[in-house]
Structure 1
Amino acid sequence: MSPSLEAAHVYILSLPAYGGGGGCLSEQHKMAVSPTVLGRRASFLILFSSFASSLAAGSTSSYNATRKKTPTHHPLSLDFYAKTCPQLDQLVSSVTSQQHRDSPVSGPATIRLLFHDCFVSGCDASILISSGPKGSPPVERNMPENRNLAPEAFDTVNKAKALVETKCPGVVSCADILAIAARDFVHLAGGPYYAVKKGRKDSRVSLYAKVRPNLPRTNATVDDLIRLFSKKGLSQEDLVALSGAHTIGFAHCDQFVTRLYDFHGSRRPDPQLDPRLLRALQMSCPHFGGNTDVVAPFDVQTPFDFDHMYYGNLEARMGLLATDQALFLDPRTRPLVQALARDKSRFFAAFAAGMDRMGSFGIKKGRKGEIRRDCTRHVTH
């Protein structure tokens, strides 16, 4: 955290906005935000814009992920804790609701944490394990790809687990709590409330070496993304729908700075990036020597609302990451982007179905799993 920014208690959020009429630029919009708005990481400088034109708001709906059957090789069920911890969802909800009010960054951070957990070796809470004593093997959390996972996400899961342990000791896995918390935050931000199947066990290992080959790279192509998702049993529609989680949340400059100055080694910006967004990003993300705490929103129009504006941004060349914008440029995924941009209800249903399938991947059973009392430490035997 930057002490100077923390002391200032004022953070400028600015990006030239589209004006009316012929698309002229309006004056910059600026906001002063207290550090409590984004939680402990509030020293981030955040760019965001309110655009004059936006898609009509729709009502939040509930969806069960039923479009495709989930794999049958796992023991997950909606009523897994019906007898052993019937109040589980309410307990987790009490924590996520408080986190959403006190530290809104907790929402996108927890959704991202779930993705980083599930994609490496299944939804098994292996990402939550902390480093052991000096000389212990490194864990997933130590990998560079995971070092900027926001602490608010870990705090949310740990707080929820501590509360659940007071009511249902030794019963509920950290993996299930993470999945429920991510769902809660989607809904709290205006997205769908979908049913979360339960019955996951926590992993008995956290393997550092498995992280890099199982997470998308910042320079991944659509081919790379399709292959990676396919290995997890996820379709191209799942790829596009789950990428829609970027309708909320932020990225550090180092995740997209090459698009601004040296795209694919060309020494020029990405020609697919809207020039107005390019200029705004370059102002806060210099090629070298910039503030590493600076972040920009994935969705430049409604960065705190879980809606389908992300897809409209891709159509307007306003995708922040090259991997996001590529989904619109590739003819295989463009029709899906366009369909979800038109229909928020379809996006919500597809997202819920994708989360259900992702949440069913790599489930640990029997002696391959455990139920941790402390999400950061393996059970000692």
Structure 2
Amino acid sequence: MEYPVRKLNELVTFRREVASCHKATIYDYISTENMLSDRGGVVEATNVPAKGKVKIFNKGDILISNIRPYFKKILKAKFDGYCSSDVLVLTPVSLSDEDYLYGVLSADTFFDYVTKTSKGTKMPRGDIDAIRNYSVPWPDHEMRTFIGEVYSTIDKKLDANKLINKNLLDLARRLFDQEYQKARKVVPFTDLIQINGGGTPKTGVKDYWGGSIPFFTPKDVGDPITLETEKYITEPGLAKCNSRLYPKGTTFVTARGTVGKLGLAGVPMAVNQSCYALTSEIIPSSLIYFFAEKTVKSLRKKANGVVFNAIVMRDFNSERVKEIKPTVLSKLSEVIRPLIDIMIINEEENIQLANIRDSLLPKLLSGEIKLS
């Protein structure tokens, strides 16, 4: 059973209102850089534009990254804020269809269409006219409400797990800070933590790609846990790149692209040359992340308005941190490690829920599953 269709342009308003970039903060600014791929939502921005205009959005609006649509970056705004010009801001005409339309525009069918009709090769952008004319399946109001409720219920559970993880990370950070503030001795960051580079296998060798080893790049930074990556490599690929297989719990920091973002590996993975992997024989892996947070914050402060476009080895060499006594580190790790383990479990559940959501949605929109 196929439902009748309506053009997207009839169902939403494509917003274009702008404001000065100086109104935006890292807490209410959204760009294609801090939107997560595969419908993963958004993380806090690392910076805001220093000049020009930004677009305005309101709570409930649907935001879609219009660059490289195959990354499937979409979210439903949970606050009023500002976004870059490369983000589409759609306001549903009918409030009652808000969740349904968010579900429709999150489906692979929509992103496949936008990718197919996009313009450009290196940095493809969605064609606005084609997007406006997208055919939206339009069942009766009862079915639209049902589909919207299914989608939003799963989304709320995903958000609940994300909030739990945020609170667990905040708790771990506070516990770390309590002991860090008590420490007196200051040492070079690299006396405690080793900075390891990464590398990429030759992209032209097929035998190196499509394996089972996650390959972490700046695009894969989680919030902060990463369990899945955009690309995977094989054992031969790992052997031919300048990265080893880093264990679960390794802290990664992005050195180029979106600079200074921190991630935690939820499973063993390799890393590309745009990131550093932080390891230590002194600091427990569960605590390296928090030492790294302080160091990156210091580097940002030193930039003092200058574009923070790269981190190199000598940046870490110049940084100093407090040295916490080994006995305290051990006890602190015993408390914080279980918190990180719970965060990983929550992230695993979110992947399962997202897979259920994304497999259900096409069946609901096609009429394969319907109300009796």
Give the TM-score normalised by the residue count of structure 1.
Answer: 0.25
* Larger RCO of the pair (alpha carbons < 8 Å, separation 6+): 1
Asked which structure has the greater CA Rg, the reply is 2
More strand by share: 2
Give the TM-score normalised by the residue count of structure 2.
Answer: 0.25
